[in-house]
Amino acid sequence: MPCRALALLLAAVLALLSPAPAAAQAPPAAAPASVLEAAKKEGKVVWYTSLALPSAEKVAKLFEAAYPGIKVEVNRTGSQRILQRVMQELQANIKNVDVIHTSDAGHFVLLKDKKLLARHVPAGVDVFPAGFKDKDGYYFGLRATLNVIAYNTQKVTAAEAPKTWKDLLDPKWKGKLVTAHPGYSGVISTHVLALVHLYGWEYFQQLAKNSVMLVQSAVDPSGVVASGERPVAVNGGEYTFYQARKKGNPVEIVYPKEGVPLVVSPSAIAAFAPHPNAARLFTDFSFTKDVQQVMADSEGLYSGHPEVKYPADKPKLGDLKLLAPDPEELEKRSEEIKKRFVEFFGA
């Protein structure tokens, strides 16, 4: 008996120490041997991603554990900066990026139009809903997040907390709000467009009167709210607030009943990718059910994969009223969104 207990304990310790969960150890069978061989020769894949840094590093480590010998170079920055980088590098004839992943679906409309994407349908992605798929097979939604309101429970009680987007316009929130920037984050530009549809630009004009603190990334408001620097976030990726709450921070999430922007973040392979095979392998891997499940479990993201199970403390997408702006419109109005936001908020 004690022997078995010891063995169990050892197994538990080993499981704790092992770098990646067992679920992701076995490489998916989808990749043909030739691709695997060529990818190993290429040795690495360069990933420009807007996924929160710790989450991105986690996905990268899972891949490296599954495919030893192929490194993932994570370059994490805001969606808009990623597009800027890609275009700026191309102008200087630099071919660096393999896989592009941002939270501004409009980017992929633009990149596809400019013939900068390689067509690649990740294995098993056919079961994803239409909102996650480009019909021509160039880009697919790697993950989704909601854009929500959040507040610090030590500074704001549940009763006084804002319940709707409109509640945030109340002058009692003056000096207490934080927003991320649509000129940096794709989650936020999607959010801005969705709310402009609901209430027009007037909404943001009024919101700006509450002297809102300005940060860059949609990841940042969760830290600002958790530290109490500003007690209420008027936007931000739901998964970042979820992670903060799970770590024990006094953060609570509000899903406004007027509708919650659903931000699907596509992933695509660059047409000029210097490591095309590793790029394919990495893309296939990141769309597998196992990896999608990891993103839903530990990172708090939503997935297009119908079999992915969500933690019990997350709302079901079906229970929320979702707002999903059209990527084409997002692409067309991107300049307007940035310009007007700067006009209202100052920088």
Partner 1 sequence: MAPRDSGPRGLDRALPVWIGTALALVVLMGLPLGWLAHMSVSGESGYTLARYRDVFADPALQKALWNTVVLSFWVGVASVAVGAPLAWLTARTDVPGRGLIRGLVLASFVTPPFLGAFAWVMLAGPNAGYLNRLWRAVTGVEAPLVNIFTMPGLIFVVTIYTFPYVYIMVANTLALIASDMEEAGAILGAGRLWVALTITFPMVLPALVSGFILSVLQALALFGSPAILALPAGFHTITTQIWSLFQFPPKVEMAAAFSVPLLLATIVLLWLQKRLLGRRGYAAVGGKGGRRRVIPLGPWRYPALGACLVVMAAAIFLPYGILAKAAFSKAWAQPLTWDNLTLGNFAFTFFQYSATRDAVVNTLELGLLTATVGAGLVALLAYIASRRLVFGYQVVAFLALVPVVIPGVVLAVALFIAYTRPPFVLYGTLWILFIAYLTKEMPVGYAQSDATFRGIPPDLEDAGRILGAGRLRVLGDITGPLARSGVIAAWCFIFIGVIRELSASIILFTPNTKVMSVVLFDLKEEGQFGAIAVLGLLMLALTFATVTLVQAVLGHDVLGARD
Q: Which among 137, 133, 175, 129 is positioned nearest to 155, based on CA atoms?
A: 175
How far, in Å, CA of 142 to CA of 113, rounded?
20
Q: CB 172 → partner 1: shortest distance, Å?
A: 14
Q: CB 151 → partner 1: shortest distance, Å?
A: 13
Q: Using CA of residue 297, residue 299, residue 300, residue 306, what is the dihedral sign?
A: negative
Q: CB 316 → partner 1: shortest distance, Å?
A: 28
Phi then psi for residue 78, to 5 deg, are -70, 155
Q: Which among 223, 273, 268 is positioned nearest to 250, based on CA atoms?
A: 223
How far, in Å, CA of 9 to CA of 62, rounded?
24
C-alpha of 105 from chain center: 11
Q: CB 107 → partner 1: shortest distance, Å?
A: 9
Q: Which helix (H) or strand (E) holds 285?
A: helix 276-286
- Site of interaction with partner 1 (CB under 8 A): 46, 48, 52-54, 57, 60-61, 71-78, 80-81, 83-85, 87-89, 91-94, 96-97, 155, 175, 183-184, 212-217, 219-220, 222-224, 226-231, 247, 249, 338, 342-343, 345-347
Task: Name which of 132 and 242 has its Cβ closer to partner 1.
Answer: 242
27: left (phi over 0), alpha (psi -120 to 50) or beta: beta
Task: Name which of 222 and 277 has its Cβ closer to partner 1.
Answer: 222
> Collapsing DSSP states into helix, strand and coil, what is residue 305?
coil
Report the b/e string of 248-260 with b at 16+ CB within 10 A: ebbbbbbebeebb
Which two three-digit tokens encode residue 311? 């933690």
Which two three-digit tokens encode residue 108? 């992929």
Task: Name which of 64 and 290 has its Cβ closer to partner 1.
Answer: 64
Are the CB atoms for 188 and 218 separated by under 8 Å? yes
- Helix axes 186-199 and 334-345, enclosed angle (nearest 10): 80
Q: CB 217 → partner 1: shortest distance, Å?
A: 5
Q: CB 304 → partner 1: shortest distance, Å?
A: 25
Task: Name which of 183 and 259 has its Cβ closer to partner 1.
Answer: 183
Task: Name which of 221 and 276 has its Cβ closer to partner 1.
Answer: 221
Task: Name which of 206 and 216 has its Cβ closer to partner 1.
Answer: 216
Q: CB 86 → partner 1: shortest distance, Å?
A: 9
Task: Name which of 310 and 344 has its Cβ closer to partner 1.
Answer: 344
